[in-house]
Amino acid sequence: MSSLDRSHDPARSSWVVSARAHADFPIQNLPFASLKQEGLRGGLAVAIGDDVLDLSMAIAAGWGHGLGEPVRTALAATQLNALASRPADEWREVRLALSDALSDPAWADRLRPALKPARSVTFQLPFHIHDYTDFYASLHHATNVGAMFRPDNPLLPNYKWVPIGYHGRSSSIVVSDVPVRRPQGQVKAPDADAPTFGASRSLDYELELGLFLGGRNALGEPVTAARASSRIFGFCLLNDWSARDVQSWEYQPLGPFLAKNFATTISPWVVTTDALAPFHVAPPPRPSGDPLPLPYLQVPDDWTLAIELEVLLATAAMRGRGDAPARVSQVDFATAMYWTPSQLVTHHGSNGCNLSPGDLFGTGTISGPTPDSRGCLLERTRRGSEPWVLPDGETRRFLEDGDRVIMRAHARHAGAVSIGFGDCTGVVLAAS
Amino acid sequence: MSSLDRSHDPARSSWVVSARAHADFPIQNLPFASLKQEGLRGGLAVAIGDDVLDLSMAIAAGWGHGLGEPVRTALAATQLNALASRPADEWREVRLALSDALSDPAWADRLRPALKPARSVTFQLPFHIHDYTDFYASLHHATNVGAMFRPDNPLLPNYKWVPIGYHGRSSSIVVSDVPVRRPQGQVKAPDADAPTFGASRSLDYELELGLFLGGRNALGEPVTAARASSRIFGFCLLNDWSARDVQSWEYQPLGPFLAKNFATTISPWVVTTDALAPFHVAPPPRPSGDPLPLPYLQVPDDWTLAIELEVLLATAAMRGRGDAPARVSQVDFATAMYWTPSQLVTHHGSNGCNLSPGDLFGTGTISGPTPDSRGCLLERTRRGSEPWVLPDGETRRFLEDGDRVIMRAHARHAGAVSIGFGDCTGVVLAAS
């Protein structure tokens, strides 16, 4: 999966001038999204610099003849499920054909009409997401949160053996920029006799990566560790909005439910596994004394990703003044995670659960060891006890109405051209 | 929702002779299913006695002219999502039109060609199920299971306030009669130093009712208690297969995952909320000293259902001899449940979670107060410590390969013709 080809060549550059030295979308990236089009069913696009290339228009302009009819049909679809249903080597052929055309000036005149400024388009979900699973794969996050919810028992005995996950709600996944309404819910203060129902007072974000799956395994046919990597089509940013007061009262014994299923935001762009090949790094060694993974979770040639993520916040006051968003935290993916992407896929499929194209996995909140690398406010402010002070003097324990949360991520590695994920944002609306 | 009309008249009978005094499918029932047809996309059908009425063929034969074009289009679909997207009064019009035609001998010649023996057809899922949620709404079950998983703390403090639920896996829901493969998983004996991976040794069933939803609420628009009942399109039987050894090791802190997502079986027939109107009963009073539900969960004119459910088992040896299945347990739905169907819907939608046509809710295991009314083997055999003895002398702690589990349910109430749900069955295959 990690073999490099000319699409990864750091010397390659695009005739789309804005793509040169673009922070997120140089020609070495080429992530996919789905455009929403007024009165039309929408269609797939690829990011190149400040523009997006409409794939249906590109095909109509003659691009993609070498790809074969099934792939061209998949690229003319509204969302990515059909492409992700094709064999993984066809995903790479599409990427290579895009890279070749967007770097070859001979294609410029034909493809320029299929380019649109990214600022002029709106996005919809890149996949029809049938099933959504959220994991809990950052040891620092699990330890920090565990200490707050279970002071006497922060890290449960299964954590270092089982890649803990749970099923989430698909219907409430929205694409970046869709406002998120503060939920109402049932909450109970520790010293109260009875719970009450009302607007959550501890709304939070969770910084995660999302994995989109490709390919299929039939129900009852386990996914093996050797096959897991080939099942990951690509990655996005994911904000697992959480109402902490609802969560702490409802989550036992069956896990989070209404505290999280009111909204999950993902970035519009799917950065392909192939585009991330130059950013593969070996998983960090497990802390001394930790057990080896059981054999079924030992992934041959396993990898994780050299990705740096950050969360920024822009309050209503800041936005009113036109201030730039303030960074809340920044974290390194590879060292924050206890389980690798392929281990999450292997574990989920180990019982024969049928994983399908467009299934979405969240990694769980990505938190590092230091306060400024914690991926949610619950951890960043220690459950509100240490409010975070913004540059303008405002403070935050949890999110307030009008706050805009912005997540960003960039893959960076020696010898490779850095690529980014685009923004994953959402503004908090007052409760209904 | 509970108003009765001529379709509920106990004196009404069908020209389909097998429907008269039929235990499950008299003309007072008329449940929907989706037929699988070789080489075709399948289609909707209604049960009448020992036959099924193919709705596309019935429409082609002239039935349904009064229903309007959108409803006829919905009835010509493969699954029920389109019909459940229509207003609830149109669901009732369809039922009434079916009842009228199937009870009027003048229709017999025209509709008889659209009848097929139920034994000759195969079923597929009645809905495209986008999101599946499982609740935990039987107090006896929660208490019994809690005592086994948390002896010191069987019923958590939130239970009598929060209708506890969690998200399940949609992709692995299968229709009755699809064999279920015993899953592999990670398990750890309490006295073991480390977990191991292998075939589950404590495979179990869970007896539940499923609720299929109709109608929509936009994301961020809560479902109110007053509207909840009108969002329930119908009911089915549901077997929430569970690997207890996997569950006890993995389920903390985020709930069941691989222990349940390898398979969930539902009955092919959707018994409509309207057909169940004669079986509405008042919810039983809460035990003395229990709190009232919070105001948002107080449903006007709330109801539950007079339904008796049973689980039967046929081992491979019994089936080899042609023995009838043996009954493991029998339970009354209304008195077993702490939360009503409308309370489950209200709670799920109270935070603005968008509920869609075809969403499936499981009630959670339905267990009564006595040993022979417990809805899973975990409870029935007290985690295997009191094996259940079959009539032929075989014993069961948990399910063995080759066992066939059969669930049945019948609604019975004074003055009404009893109706049934058909069988929900599955046989256990050896692990791969």
The least confident of A39-43, B160-164, B171-175, B179-183 is: A39-43
Residues 163-182 on B with a CB inside 8 Å of A are: 164-172, 174, 181
The least confident of A152-161, B89-98, B239-248, B360-369 is: A152-161
**Count of pairs with CB atoms under 8 A, one residue in A, one in B:** 197
State the number of CA atoms in the 13 A half-sphere of A151 facing the CB: 2
**Range(s) of chain B covered by CATH 3.90.850.10:** 132-429
For residue B57, the surrounding DSSP H or E stretch is helix B55-60
Q: Quick check: A354 contacting B, CB < 8 Å?
A: yes
Q: How many CB atoms lie within 10 A of CB A321?
A: 9
Q: What distance separates the 2 farthest-apart alpha carbons in chain B?
A: 74
Residues in chain B with CB shorter than 8 Å from the CB of A150 are: 253
Q: Quick check: A136 contacting B, CB < 8 Å?
A: yes
Which two three-digit tokens encode residue A54? 């409409």
Beta bridge partners of A116: A52
pLDDT value, residue A40? 61
Does B196 contact A294 at a Cβ distance shorter than 8 Å? yes
Local confidence band at A71 (pLDDT 50, 70, 90 cut-offs): very high
Does A353 contact B169 at a Cβ distance shorter than 8 Å? yes
Say which residues have a Cβ less than 8 Å from residue A379's Cβ, sequence separation at least 6. A141, A144, A145, A365, A367
Residues in chain B with CB shorter than 8 Å from the CB of A149 are: 253
| DSSP state, residue B232 | E
Q: B64 near B75, Cβ under 8 Å?
A: yes
pLDDT value, residue A37? 79
Q: How many CB atoms lie within 10 A of CB B322?
A: 7
Shortest Cα distance from B98 to chain A (angstroms)? 33
Residues in chain A with CB shorter than 8 Å from the CB of B243 are: 351
**Range(s) of chain B covered by CATH 2.30.30.230:** 6-124
The mean pLDDT value of chain A amounts to: 96
Q: How many CB atoms lie within 10 A of CB B249?
A: 22
Shortest Cα distance from B81 to chain A (angstroms)? 15
Mean pLDDT throughout A129-136? Answer: 98
Local confidence band at A284 (pLDDT 50, 70, 90 cut-offs): very high
CATH of segment(s) B6-124: 2.30.30.230
Q: Is the pLDDT of residue B215 over 70?
A: yes
Residues in chain B with CB shorter than 8 Å from the CB of A152 are: none
Residues 271-330 on A with a CB inside 8 Å of B are: 291, 294-296
The mean pLDDT value of chain B amounts to: 96
3-state secondary structure (DSSP) of residue A279: helix
| The amino acid at B207 | L
Shortest Cα distance from B351 to chain A (angstroms)? 5
d(CA B89, CA B80): 15
Residues in chain A with CB shorter than 8 Å from the CB of B347 are: 258
Does B295 contact A197 at a Cβ distance shorter than 8 Å? yes
d(CA B372, CA A319): 64
d(CA B286, CA B207): 23
Q: Is the pLDDT of residue A2 over 80?
A: no
Q: Is the pLDDT of residue B344 over 90?
A: yes
Shortest Cα distance from B16 to chain A (angstroms)? 38
> What is the value of ipTM here, to two decimals?
0.96
Residues 60-99 on B with a CB inside 8 Å of A are: none
Local confidence band at B40 (pLDDT 50, 70, 90 cut-offs): low
One-character DSSP codes across A300-314: TT--EE-EEEEEEEE
Disruptive mutation site among A252, A345, A429 for chain B (greatest number of B CBs within 10 Å): A252
List pLDDT tens digits, range A215-231: 999 999 999 999 999 99
List pLDDT tens digits, range B4-26: 999 999 999 999 999 999 999 99
Q: B266 near B129, Cβ under 8 Å?
A: no
Looking at B284-369, list the stretches that DSSP marks H as alpha helix, in order from N- to C-terminal side. 316-321, 333-336, 341-349
pTM of the model: 0.97
Minimal Cβ distance to A261: which of B167, B183, B294: B167
Local confidence band at B1 (pLDDT 50, 70, 90 cut-offs): very low
d(CA B71, CA B382): 49
Q: Give the architecture (CATH level 2) of B132-429.
A: Alpha-Beta Complex (3.90)
List pLDDT tens digits, range B262-272: 999 999 999 99
- Integer CA distances (angstroms), B73 to A291, B113, B378, in order: 58, 21, 45
* C-alpha angle B23-B279-B228 in degrees, rounded to nearest 5: 125
Does A432 contact B347 at a Cβ distance shorter than 8 Å? no
Question: What b/e sequence results for A338-361 when a residue is b if at least 16 CB atoms lie within 10 Å of its CB, and e otherwise?
Answer: bbbbbbbbbbbbbbbbbbbbbbbb
Local confidence band at A182 (pLDDT 50, 70, 90 cut-offs): very high
List pLDDT tens digits, range A184-220: 999 999 999 999 999 999 999 999 999 999 999 999 9
Please report, rounded to a whole number, the percentage of residues in chain B having pLDDT higher than 90: 95
3-state secondary structure (DSSP) of residue A187: strand
Instruction: Write the burial class of residue A385 (CB in 10 Å: 0-12 exposed, 13-18 middle, 19+ buried).
Output: exposed
pLDDT value, residue A316? 98
Is A141 known to be catalytic?
Answer: yes
Local confidence band at B2 (pLDDT 50, 70, 90 cut-offs): low
pLDDT value, residue B153? 82
Strand runs labelled E in A240-288: 242-243, 264-266, 271-272, 280-281
Q: B358 near B212, Cβ under 8 Å?
A: yes
d(CA A25, CA A343): 28
Which two three-digit tokens encode residue A256? 């989070």
Q: A84 near A215, Cβ under 8 Å?
A: yes
Q: Is the pLDDT of residue B39 over 80?
A: no
Q: Is the pLDDT of residue B218 over 90?
A: yes
List pLDDT tens digits, range A300-358: 999 999 999 999 999 999 999 999 999 999 999 999 999 999 999 999 999 999 999 99
Q: Quick check: A255 contacting B, CB < 8 Å?
A: yes
Determine if the peptide bond prior to B253 is cis (ω within 30°).
Answer: yes
d(CA B265, CA B242): 11
Output phi, psi for A278, to 5 deg.
-70, -5
Output phi, psi for B296, to 5 deg.
-65, -20
